[in-house]
């Protein structure tokens, strides 16, 4: 059987192709009751892939940084499984184009949304794991995340902590975070958060308030030249 493009991306010829179909099906592509319940969408695969990703990244970090303790390893892990990194990886490997979405959602550019890309990537990993176990899942993760992993030469700080330290070091007021909007259905919300400090404003969007705040802090740090 010839590999499909998505199988080539994932590096696996699926024994159970129905797992891959489910992983690449956005809820919007379903109809009627199934759409309301999410049955047949990639949400179940995303649930599995999220857990598999955490395990495989933790294993990889323990191998790569054998002298580091839990705190530093945990900060690295948080970055590598964060929504911005997942969306970046998914975009880099071209995963979004393989995602089945409703025609209207496709025209609206849903395949480019960071939340959708991140969820699809976790779902794809979940499908790889359920089809073949940890070894093919590990091979995919180490290939797809290699660039992101190689950027972490030193243990990172999260963006909110970095922003707070930056303003405090200059005697400025603490950053102020505001939820500007919340859009999307209950099962897939997107929060837009703004953060202001020292007369500058940053903004970020994410599938949770916490994620949106981190992205907003990153945006403000760039504006401040920090």
Q: How confident is the model at residue 81 (pLDDT cuts 50, 70, 90)?
A: very high
Distance between CA 165 and CA 174 in Å, rounded? 9
Per-residue pLDDT of 137-164, as tens digits, reads: 999 999 999 999 998 877 777 888 889 9
**Is 122 one of the catalytic residues?**
yes
Q: Is the pLDDT of residue 188 over 90?
A: no
Q: Is the pLDDT of residue 1 over 50?
A: no
Whole-prediction pTM value? 0.71
Quick one: average pLDDT of 91-117? 87
Quick one: average pLDDT of 57-73? 93
User: Taking the CA atoms of the chain, what radius of gyration do you get in angstroms?
Assistant: 19
Q: How confident is the model at residue 4 (pLDDT cuts 50, 70, 90)?
A: low
Give the start-to-end residue ranges of the domains of the chain.
5-150, 159-224
CATH code, 159-224 = 3.30.160.20
Residue 185: phi, psi to the nearest 5? -70, 165
User: 202 with 221: CB under 8 angstroms?
Assistant: yes
Residue 214: phi, psi to the nearest 5? -65, -40
Q: Indicate the SS3 state at residue 193.
A: strand
User: 147 with 178: CB under 8 angstroms?
Assistant: no
Catalytic residue among 122, 131, 190, 219: 122
The first and second tokens of residue 176, run together, are 């102020």
Question: What ranges in the chain are assigned the alpha helix state H?
Answer: 5-10, 17-23, 32-37, 43-64, 70-80, 83-93, 103-107, 114-132, 134-144, 146-150, 159-169, 209-224
Give the model's pLDDT for residue 2: 38
Chain centre to alpha carbon of residue 220 = 20
The DSSP string of 137-175 is HHHHHHHHTHHHHHT-SS----HHHHHHHHHHHTTPPPP
**Is 72 one of the catalytic residues?**
no
Q: Is the pLDDT of residue 34 over 60?
A: no
Which of 3.90.226.30, 1.10.3720.10, 3.30.1280.10, 1.10.1520.10 would CATH assign to domain 5-150? 1.10.1520.10
């Amino acid at each position: 059987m010839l590999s499909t493009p998505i199988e080539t991306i994932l590096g696996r010829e699926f024994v159970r192709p129905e797992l891959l179909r489910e992983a690449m099906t956005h809820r919007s592509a379903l109809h009627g009751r199934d759409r309301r319940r999410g049955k047949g969408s990639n949400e179940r695969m995303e649930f599995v892939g999220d857990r598999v990703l955490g395990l495989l990244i933790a294993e990889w970090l323990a191998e790569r940084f054998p002298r580091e303790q839990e705190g530093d390893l945990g900060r690295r892990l948080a970055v590598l499984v964060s929504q911005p990194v997942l969306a970046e990886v998914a975009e880099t490997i071209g995963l979004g184009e393989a995602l089945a979405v409703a025609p209207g959602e496709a025209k609206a550019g849903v395949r480019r949304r960071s939340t959708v890309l991140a969820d699809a990537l976790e779902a794809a990993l979940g499908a790889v794991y359920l089809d073949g176990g940890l070894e093919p899942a590990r091979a995919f993760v180490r290939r797809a995340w290699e660039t992101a992993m190689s950027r972490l030469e030193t243990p990172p700080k999260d963006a909110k902590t970095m922003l707070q330290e930056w303003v405090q070091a200059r005697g400025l007021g603490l950053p102020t975070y505001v939820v500007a909007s919340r859009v999307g259905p209950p099962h897939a919300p997107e929060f837009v958060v703004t953060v202001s400090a020292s007369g500058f404003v940053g903004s970020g969007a994410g599938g949770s308030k916490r994620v949106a705040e981190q992205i907003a802090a990153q945006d403000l740090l760039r504006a401040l030249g920090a």
